[in-house]
Each structure stands twice: as C-alpha cells, then as structure tokens.
Structure 1
Amino acid sequence: MSTWSVPHNFIHSTHELDVKADPTMASITSLAKKTLRRQVTPIMLLTVITAALSSTMYGYNMSKLNTPYEILLSFINTTYTERNGVEPAPTFLTLIWSVIISAFVGAGALGSFSSGVFAEKFGRRRGLFINHLLAFASAAAEMAAYYCKVYELLIVGRAIIGFNSGISQGLVSLYIAEVSPKQVRGAFLSFHQIGIVIGILLGQVLSLEFVLGGVNTWPFLCGFSVMPCLLSCCLLPLCPESPRYLLSVRKDEAAAKAALLRLTRSKHAAKELLNEIREEEKVVSSRPDLYESFQYRDLFTRPELRRSLMMSALLNVSQQWSGINAIFAYSHSVFYNAGVDPEAIQYAIIGTGVINVVVTFISLALIEKVGRRKLLLIPNWILVGSLLVLTACINQQSNFAWLNYFTICIMLAYIVGFGLGFGPLTSMITCETFEQQARPQAMAVIQTVHYVSCFVLMLTFKFMEAAMKEFIFMLFACIVAVATTYLMFYLPESAHRSVKEVVADIKDGWRWRPCNGSDGAESEGAEIARKRRKRGSSGTYIKRADARPEDLQLQAAVTTPLRKADYDADDDLEEA
C-alpha cells in the first residue's frame, strides 16, 4: 500500500489516505463526485430552490402580459371611451401600454436600491418572507382593475410587484451565494436564472387565450402571481438563515455554527464554509477603518470596489440592452413583424420560453467545467452575430419569403446565446466580485442599475422600434460588442476561486491573464496553482514514494496551513 496526500480543496478530509499503488483517474473522479454529493445536502438544495421561487415570480410578471397584449389594449380603449366619451389616440394607447410594462422595472429599481438595507435589517430568509406580502397587494390591485374598470390600477399593481421583485432579486442572489459551498456556488447561483426562465415560460403558457389569457380570464392570470409566494412562504421556515449573515452582521457565532451544521450535515463540509467566512472576517478585522463603518459612498471612493462596481454595472446594462427583455416583453409584435402567422404567434412565444429553459439547464451543467469567462464571452459574440443577421433578415424578408422562417431560427439562436452567457452569469459574477461587507450595498446599487436600464429600455422600445424599425437590433449588437470587448481584457475568472482572490485581481486593475500579476510576473499563489495544474489538476494526488522534494514542499505549503484551521473549526463545530 502506498500513501497519498489529498489536497484540502479537492475533498473534505485533511487526513492521509491509503489507496492502491496505481489508482486510475476514474477512481479519483469518482471519489470527488461522491464527496460533492455528500456536501450538497437536501436542506441546502431546499434552501436554494425556495430562494429561487422569488426569481420565478420575477420572470412570470415579466412575460404574463405579452400574449393578451391586444385584449388588454382593447380593455384600456373601452374603459377610456366609456369614461370620456371619445376613443383615445393610438399614441396614447402606446404610451399607456409602455407605462404599464415599464412600471414593473421602474419600481424594481427603487426596490433594488432598498434591498441592501432590507437584507441587513431583516436578514436574507426573513427579508424574503416579509417581502412576499407585497405580492398579495399587487395581485389585488391588478384584479381590481378589471372589476372596477380602472386601467390605472394595472399600473399600480405592476409598480407594487416591481418593487417586490427588486428587493427579491438582491436578496435571492445574496442568500444563495451565502449558503453555497465554493465548489458548487456557481451551479447554485444558476438557480436564480433558472427560476427566472421557468417563470417566463409559465407566464407564456398561462397567458394563452384558452388558458388564462382570455377576455374574461386575464384577471386570474394576474392573480396567479401570488402562487410562488405562497409556496415560498410555506418552505422558508424550513430553511436556515445565512451563516455569513449570522456571523458577519449579527455576530452570533453559535447560531452561525448551528446553521452550518444544519445546511451541510457534515463537520468536514461545515468547517470549509466556516473557514471561508473566517478568512473574510480576518480581512475585515485587519482594516477596521475600512470595513466597520462601511457605507454606500465607499463603493465609489475605494478603487478596488469602484472597479468591481463598474464591471458589474457594465454587465447588467449590457445584459438589458442586449435586447432580451425587449424581445420577451414585445415578443408578440416582434414575431408579427417577422411575418409569423398571427394564429401561430402564441405558440412561437412558448417555443422561445422552452428553449430558454433548456439552454439555462445546459449552462448549469457547463458553468463549473468551462469557467465564467469563456461561458460569458463566447455566447456574447453569438449574440452579436445573431443580432446583425436578424437585422439583415428582417430588412430583406419582403423580397424573400423563406427569410420569415430563417428569421425565427436566428431569433432562437439569439436566445441560446443569451441563455448560455448573459442570462445565468450576470448576477453570479456580480456576487463573486465583492467581499462580504460590501456585498449587500453593492448588490443594491447593481440591481438598481439593472432595473433602471431595463426601465429605460421598456419605456422607449416601442418608440425606438417605430423610428428605427429592424435597425434597433443593430443598436443592441453594438452595445453587446463594446461591453464584451472590455470584459475580454478586464474580467477575471472566478470559477473555483475564493472571493478574496477575485477581488485581489480586480484591485490590481490589470488586463486579465491566467496566473499573472499586474506587472506580468507570476505571483506566489499563481505559481502554486500552475504547478498543481501541471501535475494534473487542483485535485491530483501526489504519491509520496515517487514525489520529488519540491513536490512535497509545494504540497506542504498548500495543505498544512489549512489543516490547522480545519482542526480549529472541528473543535468549534463540536461545541456547536
């Protein structure tokens, strides 16, 4: 029997293992997968899914009014005529519809800015529970618009649910990021986007005329938005509060340890999360002048935070101005202008939703294997190409009938590109570029930028579409191309890396190259990572009998400091 030493970040044991003389890589991979399955517990998965239900509500409210577009315009026209004795002008109807759609994202901007205060005051879990109460008020207002014949109540209801969604979006990303182990954090953060695309698809299906999108049934379509909230309210009491919030904000170490044990059901998995939180706490305690009284202005005055903020803001603005929400919010008119049979438009819309869901699940499978950078940048260029081709197709479709069908294919390619890149990765990268003390305030600011950019787009899209026609997609292509070019140089890879490492890269402000520092020289940590990759991977076993002295020194440098911290964490968890 030969003795092998196991790197700490590969499996959750710091003891030496006895294995057969020449184990295959398959057995090593199998051991890693078994360890990962033990780390992802049912209560952890329940917590992530419960949080993602709030994202489902966001997607549902974004898409539920698309298919009954003409029915709602007729309702507004009839209500206005009965009240004033004259029919409204077409431009007035366009304005009212734009306000109804954009009220959701406009109020969402206010909610996003409040999410940081909400998260710190009430916590992640309780904050979500309290915020769900707004959904019931929104559903009541939207249903009352039909029965009271007051179309303005649609605007009120959309504003309330928008404010609710703005708070939820900040809380959901925080909650999921803070209960997830580093090894699966990217995959779990994808549940946020999965919830959104499932909500979009649910809204598209239920808004069909023969389901809930009819002349007399659309109020129930609006009322259905409370169902994810009801389910979430029933499940949230079963979920633990964020251990990071308990330890870093409330300073309740005993409650944090109890929450970790409940989440992981394993001392080895719990101690990793505890050590990661303590690492961030050490950074905070080393600079109390920067962290103890952290305020919003620090995001703009401290260089490393300002760079993270600018990069995250660029991601969110370019995500919205890639045109995805415009396509979903006005998908009916987009397909109509593309020459699709009016009877088939509602099914085409559902098809886009199905593809969006499937591609997001594919992204979930790739996100840890491929890495954040590659999975963002490559699909972004697919978006640019799709938008440029889409512009040409719509421009020439009157000359070539077959272009009507090709246009739909290009639109679906666009949705595939978005679902692989911008969709799941925007909020994920934002969470991974800020340390714990700055994260709530940063998420509030970034979500506000997200909603403001979406609000401007929703409010102006119909008017820009009328003025620019198909060339509006060229505008979206230019915005995505500029943003992607910038991110190619300055976005660091965050997969399988701690927040501390990512923030250090951003603080240096250098053009990102794997393993290199701002001056082009290889740092000590980068050298360790490179040598470990050269030996196989970060989880490759090093055989003591055959290892060179420098291998053993490298291995000791990596594992020994962690081992002492692990035993300290074990003692603390025993006390908990």
Structure 2
Amino acid sequence: MILATSIQLIATLTKYPEILIAGRVIGSFFSPMCDSVLILYLQEISPVKIRGALSSLCATGYFVMALFGMMLGMKNILGHNLTILLGVPIPPGLAALAFLLYLPETPKFLMIVKQNRLAAKKSLVFYQGDQPTNDEILDEFIYETKNEPDAKGSLSDLLFVPYLRKALLLANAMLVLTVPFFAILLSSTYFLMEIDIPSHVAQLSSTFLAVVLILTCFIATYLLKSFGRRPLLNFSGIGSIISLCVFAIAGKFYEQNDIMKYIALSGMVGYMVCYGYDY
C-alpha cells in the first residue's frame, strides 16, 4: 500500500496518467488483502471473550481514516494540491510498518501451520499474558484441526465440504449488504449534488455521514456483547435495504418537491447507521 501511494504521488509530478492508474491498480489489489488479513489477525490474537469486539475495531479504524481522508480532501484544506494529499499517508504508513515488524506472528498460525509450540506460546504470552491456561489454549488449536475429518485445509474444501459450502454461500449473501457502501463513501458528495443539494451542504453532509458511521461502529462494539450476531445483522440488514429504497425513490422525484432531496439525504444517513451495525 505504501508503494501504491508512492507511485500515485510520483504520477502527479508527471504528465502520464498511466502511472496514476498503475498505482491505483496496485492499491486496489493490496487494500482488500490488508483488510481481510487484519480482521483474521485480530481474531487470532484476542481472548475469546473480546474477540467480536476487537474484530469490530478494524471497521472503526477504517472509517476513522476515511473521515480523515475526506476532511483533507476538501478544497480549502489539501484538495487543491493532489501531490501533498497523496503524500500524507506515506509517513504514518512507514511508522506502522516499523511497528508491525515488532509484532510476533499469531499463536494460532504458529501452532497449526508452523507447528512450533514454543514460538506459539511466546506469542500467546505477548498478546494475552502469562496465563495458567495457555497450554490448554494451544491444545485447543490442535484439536480444531483434528476435529474436522472432512476438511483437508485447502480452498477446494469451500466447494466440496457441505457445511463449509453452506457457510460460504451465507457469507456471500451477507456481503451483498456492503456493496452500496463503497459507492456512497466515495461518491456521496456527487450523489447529493446530482439531486440539487448545494455544494457546501453536500460536502458537509458527506463528512457528517462518516462521523455517523464511526459513532455507530462504537455502539455496535457494545451491542455485540448484549445481543447475538444474527439478530443484529438481520436488523441492520433490513434497515439498510429500506434506507436505500428511501434514498433511491426520493432521489428520483426530487424535482417535483424540494423536500424529497432531504428525504433522500436522510435515507443515505439511515443506510450508514445500519451499515455501521452490520459491518
């Protein structure tokens, strides 16, 4: 990601848009990889009691950085200078990389894949402290692998093992709820201006959407402790679909009534609230 950002920065100093495209392609390849690896990493280093809450912090951090980027991208801040704007993530990225070099691999990976019990125990002590139950936790990791006779540990298991195939289908069905988010996050100002909301109101509304998203992520972290995952996901999923319908219908008829454009805006806010819960 640091390399991709650096390439995009260099592109702004040249006359070749192909360099910028190359940087974007590299970024689009590694960005989702970073997201998925980070979620898995957080799950594997955290105690069972806080695993859900800690995993949800990945989304919170992502949205905080999105808000930060939106604020810097405003024309009166750094939006007028693309070179500086693209250079901002590089120093913190290098600092984060140095910090990652200090962190050990997850105990689960070391125990199951590397089969290095000593390194796995050191990692477990690093992340969860020196507990008398650490040896039992490591034994549970091995038990997990032996307790799945149908699975061979390959990607083909997702297609040929019935319960894994069902889980894959359900997971992809739930991912449909995330599809509209990226368009709204990246183009919310454009969407709002298209329904004749003034430019300054549209920009402030986009920033407000990001703030709402962050707040709902914090709330969701606490709700995970009180409610089951399924009820929370079902409630927020239904709410997000209803909110999108409100946005689409009101946005269609904004020319007939001025209030429709603000109803459309409320639908967008509603979607962001629901998305913060289901993410």
2:89 aligned with 1:225: yes
Output the CA distance in 1 between the equivalents of 2:271 and 2:92: 29
Partner in structure 1 of residue 130 of structure 2: 266
2:206 aligned with 1:340: no
* 8 A contact 1:375–1:420 mirrored in 2: yes
Partner in structure 2 of residue 310 of structure 1: 169
* 8 A contact 1:390–1:411 mirrored in 2: yes
TM-superposed CA distance for 1:358, in Å, is 0.7
Partner in structure 2 of residue 359 of structure 1: 216
Superposed, 1:166-315 pairs within 5 Å as 166-214=32-80, 217-268=81-132, 270-271=134-135, 273-283=137-147, 287=149, 290-291=151-152, 294-315=153-174
Output the CA distance in 2 between the equivalents of 1:404 and 1:386: 14
Q: 3-state SS of the aligned residue for 1:189?
A: helix
Superposed, 1:409-448 pairs within 5 Å as 409-421=266-278, 423=279
Aligned residues, how many?
279
Q: Calculate percent identity across the aligned residue pairs.
A: 26
Output the CA distance in 2 between the equivalents of 1:192 and 1:345: 27
Tell me the alpha carbon deviations over residues 285-342 of structure 1, each in whole angstroms, 9 at most, x when there is no partner: xx3x843xx32222211212211221222222x0343x11111122122110232111
Partner in structure 1 of residue 246 of structure 2: 389
2:34 aligned with 1:165: no
TM-superposed CA distance for 1:200, in Å, is 1.2
Would the alpha carbon gap of residues 350 and 170 (structure 1) be closer, same or farther in structure 2, given more than 3 Å must change? same
Output the CA distance in 1 between the equivalents of 2:91 and 2:229: 33
TM-superposed CA distance for 1:186, in Å, is 0.4
Would the alpha carbon gap of residues 228 and 304 (structure 1) be closer, same or farther in structure 2, given more than 3 Å must change? farther
* 8 A contact 2:189–2:202 mirrored in 1: yes
Structure 2 unaligned residues grouped into runs of 5+: none
Superposed, 1:477-556 pairs within 5 Å as none
Of Structure 1 and Structure 2, the greater helix share is in 2
* 8 A contact 2:248–2:264 mirrored in 1: no
Output the CA distance in 2 between the equivalents of 1:166 and 1:385: 27
Partner in structure 2 of residue 319 of structure 1: 177
Partner in structure 2 of residue 141 of structure 1: 7
* 8 A contact 2:125–2:131 mirrored in 1: yes
Output the CA distance in 1 between the equivalents of 2:122 and 2:115: 13
Output the CA distance in 1 between the equivalents of 2:155 and 2:64: 33
TM-score normalised over the length of structure 1 = 0.46
Superposed, 1:467-482 pairs within 5 Å as none
2:216 aligned with 1:378: no
Output the CA distance in 1 between the equivalents of 2:172 and 2:270: 25
Q: 3-state SS of the aligned residue for 1:251?
A: coil
Tell me the alpha carbon deviations over residues 19-46 of structure 1, each in whole angstroms, 9 at most, x when there is no partner: xxxxxxxxxxxxxxxxxxxxxxxxxxxx
TM-score normalised over the length of structure 2 = 0.92
**Letter paired with 2:165:** R
Superposed, 1:15-26 pairs within 5 Å as none
TM-superposed CA distance for 1:278, in Å, is 3.5
* 8 A contact 2:6–2:90 mirrored in 1: no
Output the CA distance in 1 between the equivalents of 2:65 and 2:118: 37
Would the alpha carbon gap of residues 272 and 338 (structure 1) be closer, same or farther in structure 2, given more than 3 Å must change? farther
Tell me the alpha carbon deviations over residues 378-420 of structure 1, each in whole angstroms, 9 at most, x when there is no partner: 0111112212222221222222222222322221111101111
Q: 3-state SS of the aligned residue for 1:210?
A: helix
**Letter paired with 1:254:** L
Would the alpha carbon gap of residues 161 and 269 (structure 1) be closer, same or farther in structure 2, given more than 3 Å must change? farther
How large is the RMSD of aligned CA atoms in angstroms? 1.9
Higher relative contact order (CA 8 A, sep 6+): 1
Partner in structure 1 of residue 16 of structure 2: 150
TM-superposed CA distance for 1:255, in Å, is 0.9
Tell me the alpha carbon deviations over residues 322-377 of structure 1, each in whole angstroms, 9 at most, x when there is no partner: x1111112212211023211133222211111111111111111112111101100
**Letter paired with 1:177:** Q
Structure 1 unaligned residues grouped into runs of 5+: 1-134, 424-576
Output the CA distance in 1 between the equivalents of 2:13 and 2:101: 35
Would the alpha carbon gap of residues 261 and 144 (structure 1) be closer, same or farther in structure 2, given more than 3 Å must change? closer
Would the alpha carbon gap of residues 281 and 396 (structure 1) be closer, same or farther in structure 2, given more than 3 Å must change? closer
* 8 A contact 2:53–2:221 mirrored in 1: yes
* 8 A contact 1:393–1:403 mirrored in 2: yes
Q: 3-state SS of the aligned residue for 2:33?
A: helix
Q: 3-state SS of the aligned residue for 1:348?
A: helix
**Letter paired with 1:182:** V
Runs of 4+ in 1 over 6 A off after TM superposition: none
Larger radius of gyration: 1
* 8 A contact 1:181–1:273 mirrored in 2: no
Output the CA distance in 2 between the equivalents of 1:420 and 1:136: 30
Would the alpha carbon gap of residues 393 and 242 (structure 1) be closer, same or farther in structure 2, given more than 3 Å must change? same
